[in-house]
A and B are shown apart, each in its own frame.
Chain A
Amino acid sequence: MKPKESMPKIVIYEQKCKGCELCVITCPKKNLRLGQKINKKGYHYIEIVDLEKCNSCGLCYQVCPDVAIEIWKDK
């Protein structure tokens, strides 16, 4: 999956997420939260609050035990 141009930054693989919230407590911009929807594994998965605010710092990727996050950046 490739995010749309001008909409960079973060791809969340919702089926891989286990809703542990490690990324939520780590994001310096408080820009991630647990969503209402449930994935096939039965976990609430995370969603981004405001895509514009994400700066692709990758800290959420660093703490994710399930490699459920991918980060993109402008060249």
Chain B
Amino acid sequence: MKKVYCKPESMTDIEHKYCPGCGHGLVHRLVAEVIDELGVRERTIGIAPVGCAVFAYDYWNFDVTEAPHGRPPAVATGIKRVLPDRIVFTYQGDGDLAAIGMAETVHAANRGENITVIFINNAIYGMTTGQMAPTTLLGMKTTTTPFGRDKNLAGYPIKVCELLATLAGTAYLERCAVNNVKNIINTKKAIKKAFEMQKENKGYSLIEVLSQCPPNWGLSLKESLKFVQEDMTKQFPLGVIKDIYA
């Protein structure tokens, strides 16, 4: 008898505080599996966000620091420039990355920093109980858009990958999801490719992951998986958005 699937070494034994079925737990595990497979656990540094993933440093078994709301790309820039042999990545939600941290996001990408960004797009502010995010879909009800997001009042959902694709500094941008086995496996492949590129000094990469947040969407988990599949992917199509080496 041999263990074929088990907790990666890059995860601790601490139990996540996430809601049942939350995509954060899945992406944490995928990142950990990739770091194990690449054998870089001892030289990886993660930067956790503000948001539901604020305790990521408890769950990962490698060095993780924590940056105030939206600033992980700036902190990652500093760490990577001082310690260029480390694998440096940020892990950020859509409120963190695309609202308060949009300036840091865009400028780190535009400078072409050799870092990896793992971007959890759940179309909402999770931790603070469901306010509109820049990625909230039109018509979607949140606590700050109780009648649904109205483009005349709140503008349109931001497509982060497509936006960053216009910048000459970005090398690899892919959008994935974790709503079923096939998409989970693809997400892992994309994360692995991003970390491999960083190892080879190939520049800035961002993996956007469409991620279910059932409690704040007011949906059951099954309905949430369907919402990702049918509604979110219409606004945010899956696939490689940019790969300068392809």
Chain A residues lying within 8 Å of B156, measured Cβ to Cβ, are none
Which secondary structure characterizes the binding site on chain A? loop
Q: Let me know if A16 is at the binding interface, CB within 8 A.
A: yes
Please provide the chain A residues from 18 to 75 with a CB less than 8 Å away from any CB of chain B in the complex.
18-22, 25-26, 41, 43, 56, 58-59, 61-63, 65-67, 69-75
Return A17 CB to nearest CB of chain B, in Å.
9
Cβ of A58 and Cβ of B5 under 8 Å apart? yes
Rounded to whole angstroms, the CA-CA distance of A16 and B1 in the bound complex is 23
B1-23 contacts to A, CB under 8 A, are 1-7, 11, 15-16, 18-23
Nearest CB in chain B to that of A69: its residue: B5
Contact of A20 among B5, B21, B29, B185 (CB under 8 A): B21
Min C-beta distance of B202 to chain A, whole Å: 28
Contact string against A for B residues 180-192, beta-carbon threshold 8 Å, 1 for contact and 0 otherwise: 1100110000000
> Chain A contacts of B3 at CB under 8 A?
70-72
Query: What is the chain A residue whose CB lies nearest that of B26?
Result: A65
From A5, A15, A20, A26, residue with most partner B Cβ within 10 Å: A20
- Is A71 touching B18 in the complex (CB atoms < 8 A)? no
Q: Is the CB of B221 within 8 A of A20?
A: yes
CB neighbours (8 Å) of A75 from chain B are 1-2
Hey, which bits of chain B sit against chain A, CB under 8 A? 1-7, 11, 15-16, 18-26, 29, 180-181, 184-185, 221-222
Binding site for B on A (CB under 8 A): 2-3, 5, 8, 15-16, 18-22, 25-26, 41, 43, 56, 58-59, 61-63, 65-67, 69-75
Q: Can you list 8 A-B contacts (CB < 8 A)?
A: A18-B20, A18-B21, A20-B221, A22-B221, A26-B181, A61-B5, A65-B23, A75-B1
